Amino acid sequence: MLEKLKELSNHSQSKYYSFPVSCILECQDGTTFQGVNVETSSPAAGICAERNALFQALAMGYQKEDFVRIHIYSRSKNNITPCFICRQALLEYAKPDLEIISYTDDGNTEIFHLEELCSHPFQEEDLA
């Protein structure tokens, strides 16, 4: 998986922050969706790797129950986790026990679950 993620990160469009991120979202049926971060000169117009993969999956008809885990890679020495915008999107469209596996460049992995990264989420029910 790490080699796939490294290769995929070469497609990242990260010319402003030079921080390529790649991810692979796994579904229960074995289908995977790949994502990379895409930056633009107007930062808000870009997208993170995680949402890139998630939104592709949704566009193909996959739903919350289908997502099993997401693998995330960056060249950071640290095991990165999804940013808070991606956490919000994942909370909306993935189950709380979604596994998040973070890989560093030298192969260290750390496993998280979505719910542990979002202890007090803003959710659909809060709009009532």
Least separation in angstroms between CB 62 and Zn ion:
19
Annotated catalytic residue 50: yes
Nearer to Zn ion, 48 or 98 (CB): 48
Nearest to 16 by CA among 42, 36, 34: 42
Parallel, antiparallel, or unpaired for β 67-74 and 21-27?
Answer: antiparallel
Using CB under 5 A, list all residues that contact Zn ion: 48, 83, 86
Q: Which of 3, 7, 26, 50 is catalytic?
A: 50
Nearer to Zn ion, 26 or 53 (CB): 53
Least separation in angstroms between CB 36 and Zn ion:
12
Instruction: Please give the structure tokens belonging to residue 11.
Output: 């497609």
Classify residue 121 by burial, with Cβ atoms within 10 Å: 0-12, 13-18, 19+.
middle
Nearer to Zn ion, 28 or 85 (CB): 85
Nearest to 77 by CA among 31, 19, 28, 32: 19
Least separation in angstroms between CB 47 and Zn ion:
8
Please report, as a single letter, which amino acid is at residue 17. Answer: Y
Nearer to Zn ion, 86 or 117 (CB): 86
Strand order in the sheet with 67-74: 32-36, 21-27, 67-74, 99-103, 109-113
Least separation in angstroms between CB 30 and Zn ion:
25
Active site residues: 50
